[in-house]
Amino acid sequence: MKLNLKLYLIRELAKEKKITLVTVANSVGMTYSNLQKIMKDGSTTEKTVNKICNFFNIDIEYFLTEGYKKENKVEEIVDEKEENSKKQQQIIDVLLKSMENLNSLLDEYKRKLKDIEERDFVENKKKVAS
């Protein structure tokens, strides 16, 4: 019976263990070209998969669920980006509110300055008239 699995992950396992694919192939009793073929096709016999799993000391589920783990990672990244977007929007809202407050203060200072200038003008006018 042929099994369809994510056998391309053999490359990652070999890389993690710092061994070549030739070593993997020899250790499970197949040629390098056959190993490349099953990794590409994702299909082999249960007996061969068991040999590979025994060699790497993993469960067959690794070749079934690793893809799901990667999909979950993508979902986590999307969720994280959405959360970051919410936080960024909150920061923008706070900054906008702060700018509104600063503009209000600036308008108040402009009014006070205008009042002072008008008062000074009136006082100077009185001094000149007397």
CA 28, CA 55: separation in Å to the nearest integer?
7
DSSP state of 90: H
Query: What pLDDT does residue 52 have?
Result: 95
Query: What pLDDT does residue 1 have?
Result: 62
DSSP state of 3: E
Cα→Cα distances 124→74, 110, 128, Å:
73, 21, 6
CA 102, CA 39: separation in Å to the nearest integer?
63
Query: What pLDDT does residue 68 have?
Result: 47
Residuewise pLDDT in 10s, the chain (130 residues)? 666 788 889 998 999 899 999 999 999 999 999 999 999 988 888 899 999 999 999 888 888 865 446 556 667 777 888 888 899 999 999 999 999 999 999 999 999 999 999 888 888 877 787 6
Query: What pLDDT does residue 106 have?
Result: 94
The identity of residue 50, as a single letter, is: N
CA 87, CA 81: separation in Å to the nearest integer?
10
